[in-house]
Chain A
Amino acid sequence: MRVVIGEDEVLLREGLVHLLENEGIEVVAAVGTAVELELEVARLEPDLVVTDIRMPPTHTDEGLVAALRIRRSHPGVAVMVLSQHVQRRYATELLEPRDGGVGYLLKQRIADVRTFTEDLRRVQAGGTALDPDVVAVLVSRASKTRGPVGDLTPRQLEVLGLMAEGRSNAHIAARLGTSEKAVVQHTSKIYDTFGLPVAADDHRRVLAVIRYLADAGTAAPAGGSQ
């Protein structure tokens, strides 16, 4: 896997390069600005881009803007966005241009090297990786409405959260210490509750779940007078 890194903090950039190379991932370029990032992506056509959001010169959202542009203009390039803080708006924006091949994680997740590289590989393979923090926002927001999310059991909510993070049934089962079969049961119950068609493809079901949660959150809030 060929990767281009965009990160303005030198120490962190070096750390990332080191980490990825240790895991056998080839870093073809590591740059410190969004402009350089886009240039390198156009030049090198990597499999994956790992980028920060805040970068010079304005230190606002140029990394995210570059990531969104790359997603539109380079369908073959997967994008992993890293940030100190994650929020719903950026997640939905990143998911919008095309299905899959996208990740959005807190920078702190890098430290859990195994999970992180697993996420990178999944994203590169067309999957999705959403940070648990932003998934928590999506789920809690959706469950504050009068929709069916509030009807799920705690275990179903756990499964839902992991699904939204982009995890496979196997991973969910391992994480929850249960069987894959039990996870499948939970997921189909969740689909039933949401009225979603069962998707064979792991990647597609993630997107369906996330979109469902995002939409549910904008419905009328529970307990409101509306």
Chain B
Amino acid sequence: MPPRTGRAETTAVPCTWTQVSSAVLHRPLGSRCGDPSSVIRSTDKGAGGVRLRAVRADALRPALILLAVFAVVCGGLQLAVGAVAPVPFWIPAAFTAVYAIWTAAGVIAWWRRPMSGTGGLLLAGAVAVFVGGAGNLGLPVLTEISTVFATFILAVTVHLLHAFPSGRLHGAFSVATVATGYGVTLLLQMPLYLLPADQSALLSVATVVQSTVGLGVMVATAVFLIRRLRSADPQNVRVLLPLYLYGILAVVLIPVSANVLTLLGADGVVIGGTQLIVLAGIPIAFLLGVLRGGFAQTAEADALSAWLGNAGSTGASVAQALARSLGDDSLRVAYWSEERGVFLDSAGAEVAEREQAPPRLWQEVRVESRLVGAIGYDGRMLTDPEAVRRAGRVLAIALDRERLTAALVASNEALQLSRLRIVEAADRERGRIARDLHDGLQVQLVLLALEAQQIANSQDAPPSTAAAATALRSRIDAAAADLRRLVHAVLPSALVERGLTAATEDLVDRLDIPATLVSDVDDRALDPATARSAYLIVAEALTNAVKHSGARTVRVSLARSEGVLRVGVSDDGRGGARVENGSGLKGLTDRVDALGGAFELISPAGAGTELRVELPCAS
């Protein structure tokens, strides 16, 4: 028969740290940890938002795959038609290659960063390149369309530059510039295909107007980008600067290169090839921008919340995870200090005012309308405040969990301390009673007996009085013996005078059944509180062995190592002992718990009882 084991765990509260976190994030109802109502409320809100977003991201992926397949088919068609078209095959082939690069970059960017519009813009650019390439296939309709969209790709590139990395435009200046860009490439392009070919004067005027306005757009874009670079965080500049340089260069080079290269005497093949190569570089640059540094979304929001649930998420690590999740390396998390009335960073320093002023944006994080912290971020890097708010809700759960955990740990500690105080108070009381009896009553009984005997011994006492006095002395001695046993039970002399081993030895000596004691404990080095508890445990276990288990022999072991005192009491009795309410053993488990020790009772029926207790003791 396998031994039945009863074990009292050392922790006083039934929930551990990890259980708390899983309760907050995964356990919706019936959690045993403290009062779960507030936890559950914030869980539902936060996790709900996260789940919504995860679903959206999940639906996006099949759509992107479908889109990619469609794009491949289109590319294949262009190649196939190009193969039979009356133009050199390299032209449609090169266009298709550039188109493929834009498409791939767009799909990858959208896939990796679903919340950003960059992927979509890159795909729009891919369409523009496709249409441009289709113009070379020798089909008149396609050629017309291609003429309409000939410079559209430049406007898309300008749009990309303004909107990177969020994919959304920020500020009226940007919107106006980009809109003008589209106007230049679509409206100011019109004269080129609407005017008859013989109106060369008008045509050149139209070209000059288009070039001038286009140049204005580029200057405005350059100004905008320089301003952004100047106010950007160094880690963002690292990624933004090369991207901006290449983007501006490309937009300026593509239209200008035709004239410059023609002047240099280059033929159409070189000009076209150069333009296509520069064009192919644009999506690559933006894709790298999206994937590099803080712009890549490497963690899904639900992954973030799971991470928050599992990690000991404090301070900087929370901010780091949020930054990674949202795609802004400059993101900071601040904590609201109730008593100081200010926001503090993870290091405990006050957050500067400018962190909360534009271009920085400040999203306050609340748990049930109570301000707990804030997320500071770059408004140009993250233009979707809803994403930040959602992240804020996840953060709120984390912060609230930290608060609840801290409260739980604190109350657990308070409970533990109060239990310890109860044990210590009980021990003090025992000590006081034992001392009072020892110093008071026991001495009195000695003196009383002495007096009685002196009466009995006095010369002038009649024999009857002497006999009565002697009998009185005997009875006082008997009372003293009773008192001695009582004092011994409350707090044995040996424990006070010497310590645990000496007291246990005396206990074992006076046992009615054969008993052995093995001890390597140095009584002088053991603190009195631990010694007292260990003694009471041994005394109770020995009483049980003699009274209830019918043991013939019993073994006691005391060992101390690495800050732990191990107490073992085993007998060869009938076993089947239980830790039940009201039993002496139950009181001992409470004591061991309060001291932060471990208690194990192994008592299979018919095979003896073994009690193992570990008590922490300062070394």
Hey, which bits of chain A sit against chain B, CB under 8 A? 9, 11-12, 15, 19, 22, 53-54, 59-61, 64, 83-85, 87-89, 106-108, 110-114, 137, 140-141, 144-145, 217, 221-225
What range describes how many residues of B lie at the interface?
A: 35 or more
Contacts A84-B487, A144-B513 known; A54 to B496 CB distance under 8 Å?
yes
Type the 1/0 row for B547-585, where 1 means its CB is closer than 8 Å to any CB of A.
000001100000000000000000010000000000000
Residue in A12, A54, A224 whose beta carbon sits within 8 Å of that of B514 in the complex:
A224
A111 near B497 with CB under 8 A, answer: no
4 A-B pairs with the lowest CB-CB distances in the bound complex, closest first? A221-B514, A111-B449, A85-B493, A61-B497
Point out the residues of chain B lying under 8 angstroms from A110, CB to CB. Answer: 446, 449-450
* Stretch touching chain A among B149-157, B364-372, B422-430, B498-506: B498-506
A85 near B484 with CB under 8 A, answer: yes
Does B143 sit at the interface, judged by CB under 8 A? no
A9 near B439 with CB under 8 A, answer: yes
Type the 1/0 row for B117-130, where 1 means its CB is closer than 8 Å to any CB of A.
00000000000000
Does B477 sit at the interface, judged by CB under 8 A? yes
Does B612 sit at the interface, judged by CB under 8 A? no
CB distance from B276 to the nearest CB of A (A): 95
Q: How far is the CA of A13 from the CA of B450 in the complex (A)?
A: 12
Residue in A59, A88, A113 whose beta carbon sits within 8 Å of that of B450 in the complex:
A113
Residue in A61, A84, A140, A223 whose beta carbon sits within 8 Å of that of B552 in the complex:
A223
Contacts A107-B442, A111-B446 known; A87 to B502 CB distance under 8 Å?
yes
Nearest B residue to A141, CB-CB: B509
Q: How many A-B residue pairs have CB under 8 A?
A: 106
In B434-488, which residues have CB < 8 Å from any A CB? 435, 438-439, 442-443, 445-447, 449-450, 452-454, 457, 473, 476-477, 480-481, 484, 487-488
Residue in A22, A108, A113 whose beta carbon sits within 8 Å of that of B480 in the complex:
A108
Q: How far is the CA of A85 from the CA of B516 in the complex (A)?
A: 22
Can you add 18 more A-B contacts, CB < 8 Å, to A89-B494, A89-B506?
Answer: A19-B454, A60-B498, A85-B487, A85-B492, A87-B494, A87-B505, A107-B442, A107-B443, A108-B445, A108-B480, A108-B481, A111-B453, A113-B450, A223-B552, A224-B514, A224-B553, A225-B553, A225-B572
24 pairs across A/B with beta carbons < 8 Å? A11-B447, A54-B438, A54-B497, A61-B498, A83-B493, A85-B492, A87-B493, A88-B509, A89-B494, A89-B502, A107-B443, A108-B484, A110-B449, A111-B446, A111-B452, A111-B453, A111-B473, A111-B476, A112-B473, A114-B457, A221-B514, A224-B514, A224-B552, A224-B553
Residue in B457, B476, B572 whose beta carbon sits within 8 Å of that of A113 in the complex:
B457
Q: How far is the CA of A221 from the CA of B445 in the complex (A)?
A: 37
B493 near A19 with CB under 8 A, answer: no
Type the 1/0 row for B497-527, where 1 means its CB is closer than 8 Å to any CB of A.
1100010011001100111100000000000
Point out the residues of chain A lying under 8 angstroms from B450, CB to CB. Answer: 15, 19, 110-111, 113
Nearest A residue to B438, CB-CB: A84
Point out the residues of chain B lying under 8 angstroms from A87, CB to CB. Answer: 493-494, 502, 505-506, 509
Residue in B449, B494, B502 whose beta carbon sits within 8 Å of that of A108 in the complex:
B449
Point out the residues of chain A lying under 8 angstroms from B516, CB to CB. Answer: 221, 224
In B208-251, which residues have CB < 8 Å from any A CB? none
Contacts A111-B452, A111-B477, A223-B552 known; A60 to B446 CB distance under 8 Å?
no
Contacts A111-B476, A112-B453 known; A11 to B494 CB distance under 8 Å?
no
Residue in A12, A112, A221 whose beta carbon sits within 8 Å of that of B515 in the complex:
A221
Nearest B residue to A16, CB-CB: B450
CB distance from A71 to the nearest CB of B (A): 18
CB distance from B318 to the nearest CB of A (A): 54
Q: How far is the CA of A9 from the CA of B445 in the complex (A)?
A: 13
CB distance from B89 to the nearest CB of A (A): 98
Choose among A84, A112, A224 the residue with the greatest number of B CB atoms under 10 Å from its CB: A84
Choose among A15, A60, A114, A224 the residue with the greatest number of B CB atoms under 10 Å from its CB: A224
A9 near B443 with CB under 8 A, answer: yes
CB distance from A53 to the nearest CB of B (A): 6
Contacts A12-B447, A111-B476, A112-B473 known; A223 to B514 CB distance under 8 Å?
yes
Nearest A residue to B497, CB-CB: A61
Hey, which bits of chain B sit against chain A, CB under 8 A? 435, 438-439, 442-443, 445-447, 449-450, 452-454, 457, 473, 476-477, 480-481, 484, 487-488, 492-494, 496-498, 502, 505-506, 509-510, 513-516, 552-553, 572
B453 near A113 with CB under 8 A, answer: yes
Point out the residues of chain A lying under 8 angstroms from B497, CB to CB. Answer: 53-54, 60-61, 64
Point out the residues of chain B lying under 8 angstroms from A141, CB to CB. Answer: 509
B506 near A113 with CB under 8 A, answer: no
Q: How far is the CA of A60 from the CA of B438 in the complex (A)?
A: 12
CB distance from B147 to the nearest CB of A (A): 106
Point out the residues of chain B lying under 8 angstroms from A11, CB to CB. Answer: 443, 447
A12 near B510 with CB under 8 A, answer: no
Q: How far is the CA of A144 from the CA of B513 in the complex (A)?
A: 7
Point out the residues of chain B lying under 8 angstroms from A111, CB to CB. Answer: 446, 449-450, 452-453, 473, 476-477
CB distance from B487 to the nearest CB of A (A): 7
Nearest B residue to A65, CB-CB: B497
Q: How far is the CA of A22 from the CA of B453 in the complex (A)?
A: 13
B447 near A15 with CB under 8 A, answer: yes
Q: How far is the CA of A144 from the CA of B553 in the complex (A)?
A: 10
Q: How far is the CA of A11 from the CA of B445 in the complex (A)?
A: 12
Q: How far is the CA of A186 from the CA of B107 in the complex (A)?
A: 110
A59 near B496 with CB under 8 A, answer: yes
Point out the residues of chain B lying under 8 angstroms from A224, CB to CB. Answer: 514, 516, 552-553
Point out the residues of chain A lying under 8 angstroms from B488, CB to CB. Answer: 85
Choose among A15, A111, A141 the residue with the greatest number of B CB atoms under 10 Å from its CB: A111
Residue in B446, B447, B481, B514 whose beta carbon sits within 8 Å of that of A144 in the complex:
B514
Q: How far is the CA of A202 from the CA of B584 in the complex (A)?
A: 48
Point out the residues of chain B lying under 8 angstroms from A83, CB to CB. Answer: 493
Q: How far is the CA of A112 from the CA of B474 in the complex (A)?
A: 9
B494 near A222 with CB under 8 A, answer: no
Residue in A60, A84, A140 whose beta carbon sits within 8 Å of that of B442 in the complex:
A84
Point out the residues of chain B lying under 8 angstroms from A19, CB to CB. Answer: 450, 454
Point out the residues of chain B lying under 8 angstroms from A113, CB to CB. Answer: 450, 453-454, 457
Point out the residues of chain B lying under 8 angstroms from A60, CB to CB. Answer: 496-498
Q: How far is the CA of A43 from the CA of B496 in the complex (A)?
A: 31
Contacts A12-B443, A19-B450, A89-B505 known; A137 to B496 CB distance under 8 Å?
no
Point out the residues of chain A lying under 8 angstroms from B510, CB to CB. Answer: 137, 140
